[in-house]
Amino acid sequence: MTAPQRLTLTPADARRLLVHYHFRPAPLASVIRRLGTIQFDPLAPVGTNPDLVLQARVPGYRQGDWQQAAYGQRWLVDGWDKQASLIQPAEWWAQAPFHRWFACRWQHRGVDVEAPEARALVEQVERHGPSTSLELGDQRADPALRGSWYGPKRSRHLLKALWDSGHLMTHHRVGGRHAYDLPERVLPQGTSVAEASDDEALQRLVARRVQAAGLLRPAADGAVWSLPCPRAERDRIAARAIARGELLELDVDGTAYWTTPEALATLEDAAEPLASPSREVRFLAPLDPLMWDRGGVARLFAFDYVWEVYKPETQRRWGYYVVPVLWGERFVARFDARCQQGILTILAWHWESDITPARLPEGLDEALEPAARAFLDYLGATRLVLPRGLGREARHAWQRAAR
């Protein structure tokens, strides 16, 4: 079989592809299908990561809407991708390599998901229905587990191992805590759970990672490409997907990227440079799939983004939970904010070095106002506290949005 030809894109075309692929406005269900996976993170100064990912793409999205999509309509289920993620239930079959990998990993740590105590937890869930770790198993602390990430209760470690290995799923959340249930009672009726070959499942996992990002470097760091297989195996699987046409190879200014036919096709829709979303402002999640490959973002957009949430405060340059600001096909700013009791407080706003706050590029303040209004509506915020450093035009845009 002849190897598919590697296509060449300019950096400008690559930026246009990414912006139009990610930010074409669409209903929630359509965006879920487009991305395939959304990374979950519980921190929520201005909504959780799924909230921020979706508000940038779904008109009229409100904070928390993803929970109804996941736990009411079952358009999403909790699973594992590059990290804890929300995935489509129809792709549960592709999780099998992760489930086996986690089962082995837990066993090496002394937790056997096939042990009698683990089976007893599954049987308890079967009898009682969706239950949290506060209601399941032995609630006594194990001194040997004090200081561990999952706490001192052995039952919590067992429940996490059972979840990681696919024996239990998240039925819903109670204050952020998983309510565990059996997969057959969580997955929508008719969802296929038949096991596929490892190659088929891994191919879907690799392709889904690229699908979510839109454009992804094979050389992106390990956190971006966390998979239940070595990188050499990933490359073999990717070559298989490329041969089948599920993935495409691109060369962008001498750097290799992978994309999907669906993402590449959006370039045709982006032929008009002023067409939406090329001139709109969007506030992105720190873990937005566009931001996963920060080295790729730096290459294509000249935007050096670091998420400093886990750094000590004295080591932070930008702030705690910093949100990138995208205007059309360029990043223009980032800001640190929190929303509490209906008050959005922007703690710090940092323009990029080529932006002069006293005189913004033409059209930026006009684009900022509707974006700010939509963001306030998404949060349900009725009051606004602004920092220094915005500049008069941007400050007035936010103030008009809050009226």
- pLDDT of res. 155: 86
Q: What percent helix, strand, coil does the chain show, rounded to 5?
A: 40, 20, 40
- Residue-wise DSSP of 171-240: EEEETTEEEEE-HHHHSPTT-------HHHHHHHHHHHHHHHHSEE-TTS-TTTT--SS-HHHHHHHHHH
What tokens appear for 188 in the block? Answer: 């929508």
| Sign, CA torsion 172/174/175/180 | negative
Q: Tell me which residue of 266, 257, 321 sits closest to 293, measured CA to CA.
A: 257
Task: Supply the pLDDT for residue 274.
Answer: 44
Beta carbons within 8 Å of 312's beta carbon, 6+ residues apart: none
The answer to whether 87 and 79 are in contact (CB under 8 A) is yes
* Residue 196 exposed, middle or buried by CB count within 10 Å (0-12, 13-18, 19+): middle
Q: Which of 379, 309, 394, 374 is nearest to 344 (CA)?
A: 379
The per-residue pLDDT string of the chain (403 residues; one tens digit each, 9 = 90 and over) reads: 455 678 999 999 999 999 999 999 999 999 999 999 999 999 999 999 999 999 999 999 999 999 999 999 999 999 999 999 999 999 999 999 999 999 999 999 989 999 999 999 999 999 999 999 999 987 776 666 666 666 667 889 999 999 999 999 999 999 889 999 999 999 999 787 777 899 999 999 999 999 999 999 999 999 999 999 999 999 999 999 999 999 999 999 999 999 999 999 999 876 655 455 568 999 999 999 999 999 999 999 999 999 999 999 999 999 999 999 999 999 999 999 999 999 999 999 999 999 999 999 999 999 999 999 999 999 999 999 999 999 999 999 999 999 9
The encoded tokens of residue 340 equal 């509490």
pLDDT in the model for residue 141 = 66
**pLDDT for position 192:** 74
